[in-house]
Amino acid sequence: MAVGIFDSGLGGLTVLDAVQARLPEVPFVYYADSAHTPYGVRDSQDIYELTTRGVQRLFDAGCDLVILACNTASAAALRRMQEGWVPRDKRVLGVFVPLIEALTERKWGDNSPPREVAVKHVALFATPATVSSRAFQRELAFRAIGVDVEAQACGGVVDAIEEGDMILAEALVSSHVEALKRKMPNPDAAILGCTHYPIMQDQFQAALGPDVRVFSQANLVAESLADYLARHPEMTGPGDTAGFLTTGDPRKVSAGATRFLRRQITFDAA
Ligand code: DGL
């Protein structure tokens, strides 16, 4: 009954942690495409090819349902995969919809027309590829009207976090928030639209100020997955072994993951 969690690298471990805590009985297989991270600076064709390859590997590991923890893959590849690539008996879900449901206070499957919602000015912080895909705005437009979204491509933050340079990461967060505020001085809400940013949530909140509600995806995705599996128990696949797979050097990736999550993680070659 395994479920797959796909990410371009280590950032998706923030999502893994949350889904494991929410669904301790489910074995999760985590796939990190460490050989090709970061995705945030790649073009959409490249992201599509890498994501389908990784998701296929998770299908082969006995997962019928795969969560794209990576926002960049969710933004640049998911729709195309769902439209023409995902086999009939498998499912691939992304991370934007749970976030947008929380932001717009709508429930899953509420297909009523888009309507006015409480938030009016939303700041989106994400990778350059996610920002240029405009996938967040597209998904939001299905559910809400009258919401002004200002997106800030946060170049450099993922690399700084992956390298463990938190001083640089903090400085970059401050400067990206300043840049956003020049375009939108008073956002009501901010979306941390990248797997790595929950680690910097306090810095985003401090730079944005206490009046801005910051939405971070790990717990929202965990709730949404629990709800999905309660409605579709058949989608927990035949695999029964949890594990960690990487396209990178397993020893190096295991060391990075252990530092990232502050507990021992052992990756195998994908
Ligand atoms: N996992 C990616 C995301 O959530 C961030 C890292 C990358 O650029 O690959 O957007």
> What tens digit of pLDDT does each residue of 211-257 get?
999 998 888 999 999 999 999 988 886 778 899 999 999 999 999 99
Which residues make beta-bridge pairs with 6?
A: 31, 68
Angle in degrees, CA 235, 46, 90, rounded to 5? 10
Tokens of 144: 């809400």
Task: Tell me what pLDDT residue 108 has.
Answer: 66
Report residue 44's pLDDT band, with 50, 70 and 90 as the boundaries.
Answer: very high
What percentage of residues in the chain have a pLDDT greater than 70? 99
Active site annotation includes 194: yes
- Residues 84 and 194 both lie in one domain: no
Q: What is the pLDDT of residue 186?
A: 95
Rounded to whole angstroms, the maximal C-alpha distance in the chain is: 51
Ligand 1 pocket check: which of 37, 78, 162, 197 to mutate, most ligand atoms within 8 Å of Cβ?
37
Q: What is the mean pLDDT of residues 111-133?
A: 92
Report pLDDT for 56: 98
As for how many domains the chain has, the answer is 2
| Domain final residue pick, 216, 231, 247 | 216
Mean pLDDT score, 131-149: 92
Q: Whose CA is nearest to atom 6 of ligand 1?
A: 38
Which whole-number Å values give the CA distances from 195 to 40, 43, 218, 220, in the listed order? 11, 19, 8, 13
Is 70 tagged catalytic?
yes
Closest atom of ligand 1 to CA, residue 11: 1
CA 211 centroid distance within chain: 24
DSSP-derived letter for residue 28 is: E
- Residue 220 dihedral angles phi and psi, to the nearest 5°: -65, -40
Q: Are residues 207 and 229 in the same domain?
A: no
Q: pLDDT grade, residue 51 (50/70/90)?
A: very high
Distance of CA 232 to the CA centre of its chain: 22
101 and 209 co-located in one domain: yes
Ligand 1 atom nearest to 72, measured from its CA: 10
Range in 29-38, 168-177, 234-243 with the lowest mean pLDDT: 234-243
The residue with greater pLDDT, 50 or 216, is 50
Residue 39 CA to ligand 1 centre (angstroms):
6
Residue identifier of the C-alpha nearest atom 7 of ligand 1: 38
For residue 228, the surrounding DSSP H or E stretch is helix 217-231
Q: Is the CB of 127 under 6 A from ligand 1?
A: yes
pLDDT digits (tens, 9 = 90+) for 198-212: 989 999 999 999 999
Q: What is the mean pLDDT of residues 29-46?
A: 95
pLDDT of residue 141: 92
Q: What is the pLDDT of residue 154?
A: 95
Q: Which domain holds residue 186?
A: 97-216
63 in the same domain as 22: yes
Query: Are residues 194 and 160 in contact, defined by beta-carbon separation less than 8 angstroms?
Result: no
- Residues 194 and 249 reside in one and the same domain: no
Mutation choice for ligand 1 from 5, 72, 154, CB with most ligand atoms inside 8 A:
72
Q: Looking up tokens 């990778």, which residue turns up?
A: 127
Pairing mode of beta strands 213-216, 189-193: parallel
CB 144 within 8 A of CB 117: yes
Does residue 11 have its Cβ closer than 6 Å to ligand 1?
yes
Q: What confidence score (pLDDT) does residue 237 get?
A: 67
Are residue 58 and residue 189 in the same domain, yes or no? no
pTM of the predicted structure, to 2 decimals: 0.91
Determine the pLDDT at residue 107: 75
Per-residue pLDDT at 216: 84
Output the average pLDDT for the chain. Answer: 93
Which residue from 33, 95, 157, 195 has its CB within 8 A of the most atoms of ligand 1, so it is best to mutate?
A: 195
Instruction: For residues 198 and 237, state if they share a domain.
Output: no
Which of 3, 16, 70, 144 is an active site residue? 70
Place of tokens 């928030």: 177
pLDDT given at position 260: 81
Percentage with pLDDT > 90 across the chain: 78
Rounded distance from Cα 112 to ligand 1 centre (Å) = 31
Instruction: State in Å: Cα 116 to ligand 1 middle.
Output: 30
| pLDDT for the residue numbered 27 | 95
Q: Are residues 101 and 212 in the same domain?
A: yes
CATH number for position 34: 3.40.50.1860
- Spacing, Cα 125 to ligand 1 middle (Å): 12
What is the pLDDT, as a whole number, of residue 82?
95
Span 82-100, pLDDT tens digits: 999 999 999 999 998 888 8
87 lies in the same domain as 46 = yes
